[in-house]
Amino acid sequence: MNIRTLNRYFLFAILLSILFSCAGQEELKIEPARYPIIPKPQKLVEQPGVFRINDSTALNIDMNNPELAELAEYVHQQFGVPTGFPFTENNKAEQNVLVLRLDSRIKGKEGSYLLKVEPDKITIAASTARGLFYGLQTLRQLLPYAIESRDLVENVNWEVPCVEIEDEPRFVYRGMHLDVGRHFFPVSFIKKYIDLLALQKMNYFHWHLTEDQGWRIEIKKYPKLTRVGAYRKQTLNTHGAEKPFIFDGQPYGGFYTQDQIREVVEYARKRFVTIVPEIEMPGHSSAALAAYPELGCTGGPYKVQERWGIFKDVYCAGNEKTFQFLEDVLSEVVELFPGKYIHIGGDECPKDSWKACPKCQARIKAEGLKDEHELQSYFIQRIEKFLLTKNRYIIGWDEILEGGLAPQATVMSWRGIKGGVAAAKQHHDVIMTPGTHCYFDHYQNDPAVEPLAIGGFTPLQKVYFYEPVPAELNEQEAKYILGAQGNVWTEYMPTGHHVEYMAFPRACALAEVVWTAKGHKNWFDFLSRLQGYYKHLYALGVNYFRGNRGDLIKLNKEWQ
């Protein structure tokens, strides 16, 4: 029985249980909310009336502040283009005005803001430009969805419902990931992806740049990484767990130049999104070894992998050239990405080649290590020490716990929550991203009617009801949970169109998980707000999954 058949049996059992639990209940109708804001604000007080934007609406903002001057440009682009209104700067305007004001008295976490919409004035106040930007995202969602057009839209009543909002995020890390190693996506799509994260107040984009199937970042000192490592001869056409393997016979590849990466980083900065680049090590390194075979334990030959899976060819941990290479690569990476974090992978590293490698065995003996697991810990800790000299901190998948955790490492817990619990108990920062709830490459509907995916079943409800802080942690340990992240692995997503289908609206649910206070969440309220949010996604040209529209969802006590 193959994996797709197993998935169908599994999903059929789930659907039967839902069907029986819903038997006799009326279909639930979800009405669009007046305030379709995602993620849900911490405090929202409804007010009567509307503010009407027109060609006389002014913008009150301090243009002498460089950060606010950038926000003024954002207002002109995001709000001025579709409305056709000039939003003329006028710091004396008291009526028919959009006020963006820094106010140090506004306390709260990163990105806190106040939004007050009155019939004659809209005021957004925050202690930081980031908070003002988040307030603008809320305002954007309150406007008609035509606000997403990049062309003038005529005959629209540009009305905003009156409201008072006090808002701040629950977690400091609110992330989405994208794997560009398995399939490559153009800069235009990466920017669109970042825009969508910013719209729902996510602040980290984890850019998975190197893999067995492709090296996607230009490194000046090692040109063969992209000349050789960025291209594979063909790509698997069927599921990775099914044999015989069937390939498409078509060469495939691509990479980002350093200039393109700088462009994307700057684009993200203006939207208050920090990019976390991932350079995989010591495993998932076939593409690098194909370019520089002397960095492997056997010397090759190696190839850029054409199918999905875990491969035994990894960087040689006993070879000093390996560390010199990685330090050179990371030195260029650090110059491109100014954020504090560099993700170094650390997952799914078979130890077979290390066990047979004289250099690796000599390293184990020389360093007084117990086994190959401690050799991996040595590898990771050595990379961490180097990055600390560059004022950067490592993030690794939870396998970096094995053999001993690097002193200042942040752990991404993906194999369930155990890794996150263990790291938090050791007083290490943790980002929760368990495959059970945060892997958006899993099916979200019956596999029989869905595009081919890796497996699993993660519907929208399951994402929404995820709680990032494990119950096993006490109050002090819980402080080490920085937040959560959704992961989009692209083995079976060859286009940006497909990525959007798998990521949205599940990313919307996760945005609420990491922003909104636990006690303020409500599944049916979320569905109501989602109806209005869908319109914005549609206007943005997002190919979102439509299987969970509110008018099709029945009351299911399992998710209450």
Instruction: Give pLDDT, residue 16.
Output: 38
pLDDT higher than 70, residue 558: no
pLDDT at 27 > cutoff 50? no
82: domain range? 43-167
Are 103 and 200 in a shared domain?
no
Inside any domain, residue 251: yes
Q: Do 327 and 269 share a domain, yes or no?
A: yes
Q: Is residue 7 part of a domain?
A: no
Do both 152 and 217 map to the same domain?
A: no
Residues 487 and 524 in one domain: yes
CA-nearest of 289, 308, 305 to 297 is 289
Say if CB 76 and CB 87 are below 8 A apart. Answer: yes
User: Average pLDDT for residues 202-228, to the nearest whole number?
Assistant: 98
294, 421: one domain: yes
* 8 confidence band (pLDDT: 50, 70, 90): very low
On whether both 162 and 178 belong to a single domain, the answer is no
Kindly report the CATH number assigned to the domain that includes residue 63. 3.30.379.10
* Domain edge (last residue) among 167, 188, 215: 167
Q: In this structure, is residue 24 part of a structural domain?
A: no
pLDDT > 70? residue 494: yes
Q: What proportion of the chain, given as a percentage, has pLDDT over 90?
A: 91
Q: What is the pLDDT of residues 272-331, one digit of tens each?
A: 999 999 999 999 999 999 999 999 999 999 999 999 999 999 999 999 999 999 999 999
**123 and 261 together in one domain:** no
Residue 109: partners with Cβ closer than 8 Å, 6 or more residues away: 168, 169, 172
Give me the number of domains the chain comprises: 2
- Position 164 scores a pLDDT of 98
Whether 158 and 235 map to the same domain: the answer is: no
More confident residue, 415 or 553: 415
Domain-located, residue 393 = yes
Q: Decide if 487 is inside a domain.
A: yes
Quick one: 103 and 193 in the same domain?
Answer: no
Q: Is 136 among the domain residues?
A: yes
Distance CA 283, CA 345 (A): 8
Q: What pTM, to 2 d.p., does this model score? A: 0.93
Residue 547: which pLDDT band, with cuts at 50, 70 and 90? confident
Choose among 452, 535, 524: nearest CA to 2: 452
- Buried b / exposed e over 540-558, threshold 16 CB at 10 Å, is bebbbbeebebeebeebee
* pLDDT score, position 29: 62
Structural contact between residues 291 and 217, judged by C-beta atoms closer than 8 angstroms: no
Domain end residue (candidates: 102, 133, 167): 167
Q: What is the pLDDT of residues 83-110, one digit of tens each?
A: 999 999 999 999 999 999 999 999 888 8
Tell me: do 445 and 518 sit in the same domain: yes
Average per-residue pLDDT for the chain: 93
In tens, the pLDDT along 512-528 reads 999 999 999 999 999 99
For 358-387, how does the pLDDT look when each residue is reduced to its tens digit (9 = 90+)?
999 999 999 999 999 999 999 999 999 999
Q: Are residues 190 and 103 both part of a single domain?
A: no
CATH of the domain at 413: 3.20.20.80
